[in-house]
Amino acid sequence: MLKNLLENKNCFKLVCGAGNEDAAEVEKLVTLYAKAGCRFFDLSAKEEIVDAAKKGVANAGVQDACFCVSLGIKGDPHVSKAQIDYEKCIGCGKCDEICPQRAIKYHKVKRERCIGCGKCFKVCTKGAVSFCSENIDLNTVLPPLIKKGIDCIELHAIGADEEDILSKWETINSLYNGILSICIGRGNISDRTLVNRVKKMLAGRSPYTTIIQADGFPMSGGSDDYKTTLQAVAMAEIIQNENLPVYILLSGGTNSKTAELCRMCSINYNGIAVGSYARKIVRAEIDRDDFLTNKAVFETALVKAAALVKSVY
Ligand code: SF4
Ligand code: SF4
C-alpha cells in the first residue's frame, strides 16, 4: 500500500510531530487529513499515539491509510522537550504566545504537546528555557508498535553523532523488514558527510525499500512561501543527484508551494511530508473541544486541509 503511494509520486504525508504525544490532537489531525485525502501519517513512536491515529482514520471512514513512527537520537530537537527554570523565569508570557503547539500555559510546559521547535527558547530573554530528551531503548519501544501494525519506521539521522545513528539504524533493521525512512538535513553536517551517511545506511538494504526524507528547514514555523520551502527542495536535489534506489520525500519548511517549486527545479519527488504548515492552517479549529462533533467547524478546516493535500498532486 505504501509502496503504491510512493510509486504514484503523489504521496502526501501528514507529520503530526515526532514529539507530539497528545493523543486527542493526533486523533483530530488524522481524522481531518484522512478526510482531506491524505493516506500517510507520521507519528510519535508511542502505542497510544498509533491507536489515536487508527481511531482518526476510522472516524474518517478510510481503510487504506499507512502509518510511520518517527524516532530520534538523544539531543535531536524533534524528540526534545522544553523545560522552564523558574529561578530565572519572570512570567512575561512571551513563550506562551509564540508556542505553535499551545504547549505552554501559565509558563508551564505540557510535555506531551511540545514538539521541540525551539521558538520559546528564542523569545525568552531570561535564558529560562532549556531542552531535555531521553535515550530510548528501541528493543523495548519497537516490537509492540510493529505488532500493532505500522507501515514504516523513520529514523531522524540529522545529528552529528554518526555512531549513535548507525547503531540505532542497525537495530531498526534487525527488528523490522518493511519500508524504512531516513530523515536527514544539513543542519549539523556537510553535503558530502550527508551523502556518505546515507550511502552507509543504504548498504545491505534492497532497492526501493527506503525513503530519504529530505529535511530542509526543520520545524519551520509554517510560512507559506517559496523561501521557507527552498531548503527542502535543495536537499531533495542533493539526494536526486546521487541516483540512489530510494524514494524521495521532502520535509521541513514544506507548504503549498513545495510541489510547484519541485516542478520548477525538475525534482522528481515521490511525496511531500508537511508538518508545521499543515497544523498551523487548521490550528483555530483543531484546538476546539467540539472539533469532531461540530460539522461547520470541521468543514471549515477540511476546505483548508484538502487544498493543501491537493497541492502535492
Ligand atoms: S519567555 Fe522566559 S521569562 Fe518569559 S514566561 Fe517564558 S520562560 Fe518565563
Ligand atoms: S515553542 Fe516549541 S519547543 Fe517551546 S514548548 Fe512550544 S512546541 Fe515546545
Would you write out the chain's pLDDT as a tens digit for each of its 313 residues?
A: 999 999 998 899 999 988 899 999 999 999 999 999 999 999 999 999 999 999 999 999 999 999 999 998 877 888 889 999 999 999 999 999 999 999 998 889 999 999 999 999 999 999 999 999 888 899 999 999 999 999 999 999 988 889 999 999 999 999 999 999 999 999 888 999 999 999 999 998 999 999 999 999 888 888 999 999 999 999 999 999 999 999 999 999 999 999 999 999 999 999 999 999 999 999 999 999 999 999 999 999 999 999 999 998 7
Are 85 and 130 contacting, i.e. CB atoms less than 8 angstroms apart? yes
Rounded Cα distance, 14 and 37, in Å: 10
Question: What is the distance in A from the centroid of ligand 2 to the CA of 276?
Answer: 12
Are 273 and 42 contacting, i.e. CB atoms less than 8 angstroms apart? yes
Rounded Cα distance, 148 and 253, in Å: 31
Are 83 and 132 contacting, i.e. CB atoms less than 8 angstroms apart? yes
- The residues with which 104 forms a beta bridge, in sequence order, are 109
* 1 belongs to a structural domain: no
Give helix 191-202 / helix 226-240 axis angle, nearest 10°: 50
Same domain, residue pair 109 and 166: no
Ligand 2 binding pocket mutation candidate from 108, 109, 112, 130 (most atoms within 8 A of CB): 109
Same domain, residue pair 228 and 274: yes
Each residue's pLDDT tens digit, 235-280:
999 999 999 999 999 999 999 999 999 999 999 999 999 999 999 9
Same domain, residue pair 209 and 244: yes
Could you list the beta-strand ranges (E) of the chain: 11-15, 40-44, 66-72, 81-84, 104-105, 108-109, 129-132, 152-156, 179-185, 210-215, 247-251, 271-274
Closest listed residue to residue 181, CA positions, set 154, 146, 147: 154
Q: Which residue shows C-alpha cell 532497492?
A: 207
Are 179 and 210 contacting, i.e. CB atoms less than 8 angstroms apart? yes
Residues sharing a CB contact under 8 Å with residue 7, sequence separation 6 or more, in sequence order: 270
Same domain, residue pair 227 and 308: yes
Rounded Cα distance, 122 and 50, in Å: 31
* 222 belongs to a structural domain: yes
Rounded Cα distance, 147 and 231, in Å: 36
Domain end residue (candidates: 132, 159, 175): 132
Domain end residue (candidates: 114, 132, 150): 132
C-alpha cell of 292? 469532531
Same domain, residue pair 91 and 219: no
Domain that holds residue 122: 81-132
* 276 belongs to a structural domain: yes
Q: Which residue shows C-alpha cell 526524507?
A: 213
* 205 belongs to a structural domain: yes
Identity of the amino acid at 189: I
What pLDDT, on the 0 to 100 scale, is given for residue 134?
A: 80
Rounded Cα distance, 118 and 128, in Å: 12
Same domain, residue pair 115 and 212: no
Ligand with smallest separation from the Cα of 127: 1
Ligand 2 binding pocket mutation candidate from 101, 131, 133 (most atoms within 8 A of CB): 101
Tell me the H-state helices in the chain. Answer: 2-7, 23-35, 47-59, 94-98, 119-123, 138-148, 162-175, 191-202, 226-240, 258-264, 276-280, 283-286, 295-312
* 8 belongs to a structural domain: no
Number of domains in the chain: 2
* 19 belongs to a structural domain: yes
In degrees, rounded to 5, the angle at the alpha carbon of residue 73 between the alpha carbons of residues 70 and 77 is: 80
- The residues with which 49 forms a beta bridge, in sequence order, are none
Same domain, residue pair 91 and 62: no
DSSP 3-state percent helix, strand, coil across the chain (nearest 5): 45, 20, 40
Same domain, residue pair 286 and 218: yes
Question: What is the distance in A from the centroid of ligand 1 to the CA of 111?
Answer: 16
Domain end residue (candidates: 113, 132, 151): 132
* 6 belongs to a structural domain: no
Find the CATH number of the domain harbouring 107: 3.30.70.20
Each residue's pLDDT tens digit, 181-209:
999 999 888 999 999 999 999 998 999 99
Pairing verdict, β 81-84 and 179-185? unpaired
What pLDDT, on the 0 to 100 scale, is given for residue 312?
A: 86
Same domain, residue pair 170 and 254: yes
Question: What is the distance in A from the centroid of ligand 1 to the CA of 84?
Answer: 8
Rounded Cα distance, 35 and 257, in Å: 22
Same domain, residue pair 206 and 239: yes
Ligand with smallest separation from the Cα of 88: 1
Rounded Cα distance, 35 and 42, in Å: 16
* 210 belongs to a structural domain: yes
Residue 253: Cβ-neighbour burial (10 angstroms; 0-12, 13-18, 19+): buried
Length of the chain in terms of residues written: 313
Same domain, residue pair 289 and 264: yes
Rounded Cα distance, 166 and 307, in Å: 38
Nearest atom within ligand 2 for CA of residue 113: 7
